[in-house]
Amino acid sequence: MNDPAADTAVLLTAADVAGLLAITVRHVRALDASGRLPRPIRLGRAVRWRRDELLRWLDAGAPSRDKWEILRRER
């Protein structure tokens, strides 16, 4: 992430997520579309991911969205 404010942001844009995961924005969108990222929050046309959830998802080994939602409910 190049933006220092993104390091403390609660909600991340696709560009912020790309920086966090060291991938392209296009890849973030592809992962989202295929259900391999946690479900984003949609605010009108804006799409955001919760930073804390992404960090927990990474700690869990980056499971698929379906598996992640089951793991999240069990916690």
pLDDT, tens digit (0-9, with 9 covering 90-100), for 10-62? 999 999 999 999 999 999 999 999 999 999 999 999 999 999 999 999 999 99
The predicted structure's pLDDT at residue 9: 82
Sheet holding 11-12, edge to edge: 11-12, 46-50, 41-43
Which of the pair, 37 or 2, is modelled with greater confidence?
37
Single pTM value for the model: 0.86
Cα 35 to the center of its chain, rounded Å: 11
pLDDT at 1 over 60: no
pLDDT at 6 over 70: no
- Give Dmax over CA atoms of the chain in angstroms: 34
> Which ranges constitute the DSSP H helices of 1-75?
14-21, 25-33, 51-59, 65-74
How does DSSP classify residue 28? H
